Structure 1
Amino acid sequence: MANRFLKPEVIASAALGLLERDLVLTNLVWTDGAFDFTGAKNDTVTIRIPARLKAREYGWRNDRSEAIVMDELHEDRIDVSLHKDIYSAVPVTDEELTLDIADFGEKILAPQTRAIAEAVDDNVAALIENAPYRTTLPLDGRDPYVSVVAARKTLNRSFVPKGGRYLLVGSDVEEKILLSERFNRMDSTGEGAAVSALQEATVGRIAGFTVVTSEAIDPEAAYAFVPSAFAVATRAPAIPDGAAFGSSQSYNGLAMRWIRDYDSARLRDRSVVNIFGGFNVMRDPVGDERPDGTREKGLVRAVKLDLNATPAPAPTPRRSTSK
């Protein structure tokens, strides 16, 4: 029977599938592996934010003495720069390849792609946790639902799309949610799925949010956002001419490269998986327009909730002065 060797494209595609499966946080944000960074200044590409206008009204049956007001369009932008080279490199000796490794993908590539997945997720976690939030709300541990509704209200007031919203929670916040009497009642009466729908990292849906838990973030924090609040760009590095064989693949917003060559000085193979990555926060124009037509920018597509945040003091009831 003839020997059967896997082509590098087949192995790289399988590895990319493993990477996507292992990712948690990266699947919650906006990703794109198709950006063309070739020749881009400072390895940076620009994402356009469409201009927004407010309609005006012209007086009904007026004497036409005044002209209509002409508005100017001002597009905005967000830059995403490649600044991370995330890799996993593993040597494989002749003895290991001959006697120990029956399935190269399972024994070598699977652990490598898991390592890449964890590193990418850690970068996304750092992006989310260190973002400059315009709004941080206290999270009520006794009744988290009230705080989640407050976050929903904040996003609504900023005209953030209602579809595809996530509530990313740390382990302590997840515990508060799962032990909340309100959510237990909702689950038992069929009005929600906060407890019974707990599968892997997804807790359920709460007040229009899909709730996902992660050990990579502060256990006492939660973040309400839409995917476009955080941008992640990846690019597969070019395959070097000196590599024995390898492949670059892009799928579902992810890009990676796998190469394998032989180190003759040490009689061993080398398997290397890596990704170029860039991470940034989406800042939208806020406030009134400046004289030069620009506006202040801020993160309005996401809200932070914190178990340790101090609640705003309740207003003092006004006493009646009537006698």
Structure 2
Amino acid sequence: MAQHQIVKPEKLAATAVGMLEQELIVPSLFQKEGIDQFKGADNDTISVKVEGVLPFRDYAFRNDRSQPIQFDEYSERKIAVTFGGNVYSAVKLTDEQNDFDIDNWSKLLRPQVKAVARGLQRRAVDTLTGQTYNVTIGNAQANLRGALIEARRVLNKFNVPEGDRYLLVGSDFETALLSDDKLNLAQNVGDSEAESALRNATIGQRYGFRIVVDQTIPGDAAYAFAGSAFIFLSGAPSVPQSVPYGATTSFEGVALRWVRDYDPLYMQDRSVVNTYAGFRSVKDVLVGYNSVGKTEVISTQEHFVRGIKLSLDGSSDYPAAASELAQITGISDAKVWTPTGFKAETDPANA
């Protein structure tokens, strides 16, 4: 007769966090950060320093030295970041269930991990859909290829890094993309076996975007953004000393804690899986160039430019031409994309 094998909690916790990472879609598209810097912070809020921006200047070669060079003041930006949120799943398991129904704890961990994953997914989607976007590309269904090319142009004008760009689409938007012969995405579906929820949700790559479908965002919407546009903070709570069976671990930037104890009054085990989580968007100071004065221009305000929104119907919305964002990037309502061309070029009223 074989001896019972004792499974260490660290091994089960590692299995659990691996399963959690496999279940995530939207949070996996965000830049991940840990929580060590938040420990001991007042009101769980810290100030994150962001590198300052300085303009370059020219000094005429062989000039008469009648004017001095110009000095600029350098200062770093500080972003207040509040960490909060404790996503968990707690289950009670009776002696009878433990003896006759559940043959191993990993079977119980899987539905618990899925519940935590859904909680993280919902919070990530709330952050994504609740963001105020400076550009919305509307009526994309009339010219999907043109809308994707325009999304690329806008992000390029916003100087968004080309690496790790995503196009997250709703279910109706996905159907429209797969039905468009010009994009030819349908052949990519099912090309490779799904190893995770994110890989299974990826339907192809076009114009520098990894196109991912998600069922929890509005069906007629899509969001084009860089992975650095949003931050996903994750951390595992400490295991209390009073709990004899528990562990914390992390995998691919996602941390998790699992604790288990026994309640003798009711003759049942208790299993709790949880993680600290927080989400936020990232704004930038913009740098432009004044071709007339031959000088650089630095924005006085921070702007969210690492992501834009697309919609199957409705109209496009661009920044006002007089705004600081439009003046620096060149993206403005003076030239708005439509399925048949730019509005400024096709509509005499906006010429």
TM-score (norm 2): 0.82
* Distance in 1, Cα, partners of 2:217 & 2:78: 28
8 Å CA contact 1:143, 1:182 repeated in 2: no
Does residue 196 (structure 1) correspond to residue 197 (structure 2)? The answer is: no
Does residue 249 (structure 1) correspond to residue 249 (structure 2)? The answer is: yes
* Matched residue SS, 1:36: helix
Does residue 93 (structure 1) correspond to residue 115 (structure 2)? The answer is: no
The runs of 4+ residues in structure 1 deviating greater than 6 Å are none
* Distance in 1, Cα, partners of 2:64 & 2:313: 61
* Distance in 1, Cα, partners of 2:62 & 2:243: 76
- For residues 267-282 of structure 1, what are the structure 2 equivalents within 5 Å? 267-282=267-282
Letter in structure 2 aligned against 1:81: T
Q: 1:281 to 1:182 in 2, by over 3 A?
A: same
- Indicate the RMSD between aligned Cα atoms, in angstroms: 1.9
Moved more, 114-123 or 63-72: 63-72
> 1:131 — aligned with what?
131
> 2:210 — aligned with what?
210
Letter in structure 1 aligned against 2:186: V
Does residue 296 (structure 1) correspond to residue 287 (structure 2)? The answer is: no
* Distance in 2, Cα, partners of 1:45 & 1:228: 19
8 Å CA contact 1:235, 1:276 repeated in 2: yes
> 1:189 — aligned with what?
none
Letter in structure 2 aligned against 1:268: Q
8 Å CA contact 2:141, 2:313 repeated in 1: no
> 2:51 — aligned with what?
50
* Matched residue SS, 1:279: strand
> 2:195 — aligned with what?
none
8 Å CA contact 2:286, 2:299 repeated in 1: no
Letter in structure 1 aligned against 2:52: A
* Distance in 1, Cα, partners of 2:159 & 2:287: 14
- For residues 1-323 of structure 1, what are the structure 2 equivalents within 5 Å? 1-106=2-107, 108-184=108-184, 194-199=185-190, 200-286=200-286, 295-311=300-316, 314-315=343-344
Describe the superposition over 1:246-303 as per-residue Cα deviations: whole angstroms up to 9, x where unpaired.
Answer: 0111222111110000111110000000111111111112489xxxx98212210000
Give the Å deviation of 1:73: 2.2
Letter in structure 2 aligned against 1:22: E
Q: State percent identity of aligned pairs.
A: 36
Describe the superposition over 1:105-149 as per-residue Cα deviations: whole angstroms up to 9, x where unpaired.
Answer: 02x101100111111011101100001111112142032111111
8 Å CA contact 1:35, 1:233 repeated in 2: no
* Distance in 2, Cα, partners of 1:253 & 1:79: 22
* Matched residue SS, 1:285: strand
8 Å CA contact 1:86, 1:275 repeated in 2: yes
How many positions carry a matched residue from both structures? 304
Structure 2 unaligned regions, length at least 5: 191-199, 289-297, 317-335
* Matched residue SS, 2:182: helix
* Distance in 1, Cα, partners of 2:158 & 2:222: 19
* Distance in 2, Cα, partners of 1:229 & 1:36: 20
8 Å CA contact 2:170, 2:219 repeated in 1: yes
8 Å CA contact 1:166, 1:210 repeated in 2: yes
* Distance in 2, Cα, partners of 1:153 & 1:74: 31
TM-score (norm 1): 0.89
* Matched residue SS, 1:17: helix
8 Å CA contact 1:33, 1:251 repeated in 2: no
Give the Å deviation of 1:209: 0.4
